Amino acid sequence: MPPVQMTRLLRRGRYRLFLAWHPLLEEMVGYACVFDPPAIPVLWLDYMAIEPRFRSAGYGTLLFNRLAQIRPDALGMVFEVEPVDALEAGQRAEQERRIAFYRRLGAQCVTDQYQFPNADGGRPMGLWVRLSPGVKILPAEVSRKAVMAAFDTLHADVPQRDRLLREILPHIADAHAPSPCAMTLSPPVGQQESGRQRQ
């Protein structure tokens, strides 16, 4: 995003920059940019990054979970994730690690037909959702409204945005909270037999 556009959004209060600060080391651990779409009960995580030397130490999880709490009425947080499509092994491993990270935090892909708008048209991505605690469902219609708001606000300068929206919106699905595993455990066969023997 161009700095001028980011400054304008920050001044309007709908786009926020969060810094993760390590109080003991007095260093920035990471940062995130969040769009708060008006009249839509979700947050849009536009970007999140952890400084390389602080990765794989739990800081990404802490930042992600803290971001999910900044708007108490939000049904969830919506964000774009690169698919695993890189040809170079190191980049591919990074894409796989990122997806595993979001899955581990309870996020789910609501469409793999999403496209990140850019000057060339669209870059294939996944659209992901992490539901807020206690929320059972994020209807597809709410996610669609969030996408339209993000396109109107964050990608208003992209010439093919209307075409991309027509292609993306029909593919967005509801996001559901995982149902608890309903598993009935039977005692081992030997215990069943010994129980019958005692009767």
Which range, 5-9, 94-98, 176-180, is most confident?
A: 94-98
In sequence order, the β-bridge partners of residue 109 are 128
User: Taking a C-beta distance cutoff of 8 angstroms, is the pair 30, 48 a contact?
Assistant: yes
Classified by CATH at the fold level, domain 3-198 comes out as: Aminopeptidase (3.40.630)
Q: What's the average model confidence in pLDDT over 121-143? A: 96
Q: In the prediction, which pLDDT does 130 show?
A: 97
Arithmetic mean of pLDDT over the chain: 87
User: Taking a C-beta distance cutoff of 8 angstroms, is the pair 165, 122 a contact?
Assistant: no
Q: What's the average model confidence in pLDDT over 82-107? A: 93
Q: Domains of the chain: which residue ranges?
A: 3-198
